[in-house]
Structure 1
């Protein structure tokens, strides 16, 4: 999938070196096709790294994708320059009159706070309400998944005795669901969080379908039965070294953290970690774009009334 991104976005040079198919605005405008319009609410502190991770996974499909980024206006990130935000990001107020085929809401390092104490919670709930009429399907990641489960379905998160960090095996719970089509019966995925949600509550909710779970890390992947919301509690978008960078950061802060489980060869932080989840991550994103977005979105968004759930 050629991804249409701004020519000067810093992630562009890195992704091109990986042979990711990117397309700039002038070329994209000459193609007589209907691209998918994807909005990304990037709540992660290292925004450029998250941009790169998500754009990479959105690239693996034959359709053209236009990507826009938004950030919260009620909280200003301290880890990104104002010039980067002003050049490549918009706010909710700037896009709220538009419609999007798909949206991604990322995780955020606020999971140990009650939802209502997060600085931008009111703004986020406004955005999540807006997606009900203006977005075909929304993919929520990590804390973003917990926020969606709480806001849309009343499922609360709870604090764990210690941080879940590592790469864990998961099993497909519903192999006939199109979102996991082609995925292995058992596959690996990274987790990095201090909180969890109840698998029993997810299974008991008649609006949700649990699609993948781990004995060690709990529920990973679930989808609403109307296919409007997809929730991933882990970080399948992570690069090979992301967990290592987080571990080294926590150690440098003097935090009492364990070596990420199942991540380093022989559990030795001096050895280079291997990415053993990449293919499943690509496939899951491709399935979401195809089955939940492309196959379901209206060809023309003339008005909100032209599409109903």
Structure 2
């Protein structure tokens, strides 16, 4: 079954061209099944690019998925038109009465700010608490993961002396994990961040287990065993050119930035980079959605009422 998104969403035609199955609302209604309800809280400035990246991964499943686009209630996006937001997004205030099988919280370009200095931190804390009663399983990404693990477990973040930037080899620490089904023993993941969380702090929390880690840039993926939360600190969802776009943006702006590590072939910025992480990105999201499907209540209203195993 395909992903259900509005026909006029910019990502729609791109996904069709890539071979991702998408479904119109009228076609979805004809199918006598309950689609998985997944919300995407998009905190990124360029919302259209992030919509496409996440919809591409969520849509690569045999299950029917209905993706809802959500934004912070009182924060004005700088790089996305008001028309786009009004046409395709709801605020969290408008959806907080709903239940979701899955919920994705993205990164945001504010990672060096103390959490309490973020102008929508109060709402983020409400959203994190709301996911414990209204969401069956949550995928927190980059800043969203750091903020969530801080909110729930007070795991701190640390500023790096220089940006962790490039494509780094990671180790599969828990091959038996349902979320790493089909993963190789080691694999490459794009990294782009100025901060980190540390293994020593995570190990102090018995509810948390580390699933992926890099010898060079540290913890990548953490699973909260009873809360059905995943904390992904890097960017498996990135396009082939995402790191290049960030690099050239900073170069053009005169911001000091090193070339991303292990990314451009022969370290030649004129050669298009190759995507070496796409298959594992699909595996991770496919495993997450499959586990969600296997364990979520059929009746949406029952979400939050059952005990997590």
Asked if TM exceeds 0.5, the reply is yes
Equivalent in the alignment of 2:12: 12
**1:299 maps to what in 2?**
298
Shift of 1:74: 2.0
- For 1:159-174, list aligned pairs within 5 A: 159-174=159-174
> Tell me, what secondary structure is at the counterpart of 2:272?
coil
Aligned twin of 1:222? 222
- Post-superposition Cα deviations, 1:280-301, rounded to whole Å, max 9, x if no partner, equal 000000000011x111110002
For 2:176 and 2:237, the matched residues in 1 are separated by 24
Tell me the secondary structure at the aligned position of residue 39 of structure 2.
strand
Describe the superposition over 1:62-107 as per-residue Cα deviations: whole angstroms up to 9, x where unpaired: 1100000111112111100111101100011111111000000000
Q: Give the C-alpha shift of residue 302 in structure 1.
A: 3.1
Cα gap change, 1:243 to 1:183, in 2 (>3 Å): same
- What corresponds to 1:243 in structure 2? 243
- Secondary structure of 1:70's match? strand
Name the CA shift for 1:118/1:71 in 2 (closer, same or farther; >3 Å): same
Q: Would the aligned equivalents of 1:160 and 1:195 in 2 still touch at CA under 8 Å?
A: yes
1:286 counterpart SS class = helix
Q: Tell me if 1:64 matches 2:57.
A: no
Aligned to 2:195: 195
Q: Are 2:132 and 2:304, in contact at CA under 8 Å, matched by a contact in 1?
A: no
Q: What is the CA deviation profile of residues 120-167 of structure 1, one whole-angstrom value per residue up to 9, with x for unaligned ones?
A: 111111011000000000000000010011001110101000011100
Structure 2 Cα separation of the partners of residues 6 and 304 of structure 1:
25
Q: Give the superposition deviation at 1:227.
A: 4.7
**Match in the other structure for 1:143:** 143
Give the Cα–Cα distance (whole angstroms) in 2 for the partners of residues 93 and 247 of structure 1: 35
Structure 2: how far apart are the matches of 1:168 and 1:255? Answer: 23
Q: Which runs of 5+ in 2 are unaligned?
A: none
SS at match of 1:63: coil
Partners of 1:74 and 1:119 within 8 A in 2: no
Measured after TM superposition, the shift of residue 306 of structure 1 is 4.3
Structure 1 residue matching 2:139: 3-state secondary structure: strand
SS at match of 2:77: coil
The corresponding residue for 1:153 is 153
The residue number in structure 2 matching 1:110 is 110
Q: What SS does the corresponding residue of 2:119 show, helix, strand or coil?
A: coil
Q: Corresponding residue for 1:259?
A: 259
Q: Distance in 2 between matches of 1:100 and 1:130?
A: 11
Q: CA offset at residue 204 of structure 1?
A: 2.6
Q: Structure 1 residues 67, 266: CA separation in 2 closer, same or farther (over 3 Å shift)?
A: same
Measure the CA separation in 1 of the matches of 2:77 and 2:191: 23
Q: Secondary structure at the match of 2:203?
A: helix
CA distance in 1, matches of 2:303, 2:248: 47
Stretches (4+) displaced over 4 A = 303-306
SS at match of 1:204: coil
- Mind listing any 5+ residue stretches in structure 1 that lack a counterpart? none
Q: Which stretch shows the higher mean deviation, 100-109 or 193-202?
A: 193-202
* Number of residue equivalences: 308
- Corresponding residue for residue 213 of structure 2: 213
Cα distance, 1:305 vs structure 2: 6.4
